[in-house]
Chain A
């Protein structure tokens, strides 16, 4: 087996989560890398949807932004932004929303707005919501990918930009949200899934060579570990080769 980095393991684990034939609303950065890798490996018929209005994009290299010309040139259709959100996302036609986050809490709520408790006097002003609140609300399920650290994985997010499971199981139903919300979080250390009883994110897999203590230390809440904790299969040579060529073509 080839050597690989923690980031490569993360992208590959995230790509594997996307099933063949699914439709995926793709955020830029790590989600886009994973979705494009999935199309090149086990899911050639994955439909990629970007909020710039590109439906069924088949980029030959990694796009640098959601409005990259490569996405429009290779798409089945390019539609307006109101159409993407109103006709395609809002009615729940899309299987998976694939999002990143600046802060994520133990119930999968996402913050990309401000760090600090005062919205008007933030410690750090982040880019804001973009398409994420409605992606998190309306896709059938949501996958989240981000690097794990106690700063990013917090007990409670400073600001709920995109709703996950709120304060626990049943909150989404109470609010009338139609999608299942976050069902998977992929990091550079392992995978987390909401506990079926409480919806609290629980460590269900660690990547090869990662100790559970390491993941607990990189999490800002008292992380629960699944009884049947699994080890992620290491990247195959094919996955690594394709990921690296994809990254190289994007440079």
Chain B
């Protein structure tokens, strides 16, 4: 059964130094505030996992929280590159960042295997590309029935997955609607999970097509209104595109970034 906690309590309890942590969200419902809380609490040596690491991962990497990134597309959607990610890969600033690189199809299937309790997933992918030569977690496999050459990728089972959702009830059942990306699979694949929500309500009103994560599949829920900003939460607020553009200027420059970081963590310059 999920426990309803404050964000600070939940991160303190669930995210430890050295953990493999997935903060998922596919443009929509990105758990940005939870990422900021991880920075504030000063976690180190995390293996960060996400299909589409965007600006909150740029911030976590720039803050030195991560020693490894497992991903399939790292950019500032609609704007350009992630400069803290680039700086870490190209110049090891502020700490070296190891990368494990996949395609979206590979990552999605790794979560599916993780959620399914299987050791690996099979897909018809990566053929002819240079990715398998760089990534140990992409291997050829022969179909035992047809003899076809396919690709195997191992299950992803994060120590903790964090996602953001619209609502939970007081018992900790979670309701998500709109683009739900790979969030369900990432939560079910994880050993522990935290769902930050826009609001905790007495009763979840049924929504067509909504995805419900039952309380017994979630470790903790934290009420964090606006917790996905500057990404968006369908039914609550829109994406703040100007914030994504503004990040480009902050992320480009180590000094500007350090100022931003000090403001977030309350360190006096």
Contacts and interface: CB of A to CB of B under 8 A. Distances in A.
A133 B125 contact: yes
Nearest to A116: B90
A72 B208 CA distance: 13
Interface residues of B, number: 52
A134 B134 CA distance: 17
Which secondary structure characterizes the binding site on chain A? loop
Contacts of B27: 52, 65-68
Nearest to B184: A80
B128 interface: yes
B130 interface: yes
A119 B209 CA distance: 42
Interface string A78-107: 101110011001100000000000000000
A86 B108 CA distance: 9
Interface residues of A, number: 51
A72 B127 CA distance: 31
Interface stretch (B15-23, B77-85, B167-175): B77-85
Contacts of A171: 128
B155 interface: no
A65 B78 contact: yes
Interface in B119-155: 123-131, 134, 148-149
8 contacts: A53-B179, A85-B109, A86-B108, A127-B82, A129-B104, A133-B105, A134-B103, A163-B127
Given A81-B108, A128-B72, 19 more contacts: A64-B241, A66-B27, A67-B77, A80-B185, A86-B105, A113-B101, A119-B130, A122-B90, A129-B72, A129-B129, A130-B73, A131-B73, A134-B125, A138-B124, A160-B130, A162-B129, A163-B127, A176-B148, A177-B128
Interface of A: 28, 51-54, 64-69, 71-73, 78, 80-82, 85-86, 89-90, 113, 119, 121-122, 124-134, 137-138, 159-163, 166, 171-172, 175-178
Interface of B: 26-28, 51-52, 71-75, 77-78, 81-82, 85-86, 89-90, 101-105, 108-109, 111-112, 123-131, 134, 148-149, 178-182, 184-185, 209, 232, 234, 238-239, 241
